[in-house]
Amino acid sequence: MYGKLIFLAISFFVLSTASFAKPVSKEMCVAKGNGFIFAGGECIAYKAVLGDKEGSLTIIVHGTWPEEANVLARYTTFAEDLNMLTDTTTVAIALTGYSGSSTNNFTALSHDKTKNLAAQKEYIVFLDELIKALKIKYKATTVNYVGHSAGAMMGATLMGLDPELIQNIALTGGRYDIHAVSKEKGLISAVDVLDKINKKAKLVLIYGTKDEISRPEVTKDFYTLAKKQGLHVKLVEVKDAPHLDLDRTQTSMEAISKMLEN
């Protein structure tokens, strides 16, 4: 029954029109106007909700949805809610292949010809460049990252690949050791770069007790590793919460808001 509910929820947000079929140049992206930014060789759609807190930027990164899903339809309201709670400029992004974002170099996270894209270093580097571009655009000195599912996995890995980029990160329903579920060579996840993560950064790891996709022990085990590494990490449990919309539960929102208080 739960699987059917997820399928229906996902299907509802699939776009009726295809995303860019041809490569999109920087000039073409700029011509699209507000709501698109060219970074890492891709034209990325986003929704920004401006806040009054100077120098701070929160970026929301979604997980895996069917190709061409309109993720911004879901995450715009999430960005608005976080903005209301924190008064921080909040940006929800649509990764490649979603909500009209290009696929110049990368497919959507869910694609029949691509597996484990969120665990490929090249894609993490692209995400790094995207966040840097948004940081410059909004003149931010502090970057806050909120990631769900694959978005959480990529954010955790990015913390080790570029330790100075993100100061606060909240990760819900993520996977932090890709090697535990895949034998594919060349993949990367947080456990591979754990010793590189900035000990001054604040990490909040959130799990749902009824999450069947990222089971509670996945987050608990990574929390234990992070604590042993001496990281500034907090573990948050959301009782009876499944994987879908875990990041939007009241408990998660409160934990994210508290992370951004200081």
Q: What are phi and psi of 243, to 5 degrees?
A: -70, -45
Structural tokens at position 14: 């699939």
Characterize the bridge pairing of strands 202-208 and 168-172.
Answer: parallel
Spell out the per-residue pLDDT of the chain, length 262, in tens.
434 344 434 444 444 334 445 899 999 999 999 999 999 999 999 999 999 999 999 999 999 999 999 999 999 999 999 999 999 999 999 999 999 999 999 999 998 778 899 999 999 999 999 999 999 999 999 999 999 999 999 999 999 999 999 999 999 999 999 999 999 999 999 999 999 999 999 999 999 999 999 999 999 999 999 999 999 999 999 999 999 999 999 999 999 999 998 6
What's the CATH fold of domain 2-259? Rossmann fold (3.40.50)
What is the CA angle 250-151-51, rounded to 5?
60
* Of residues 32, 16, 177, the one with CA closest to residue 102: 32
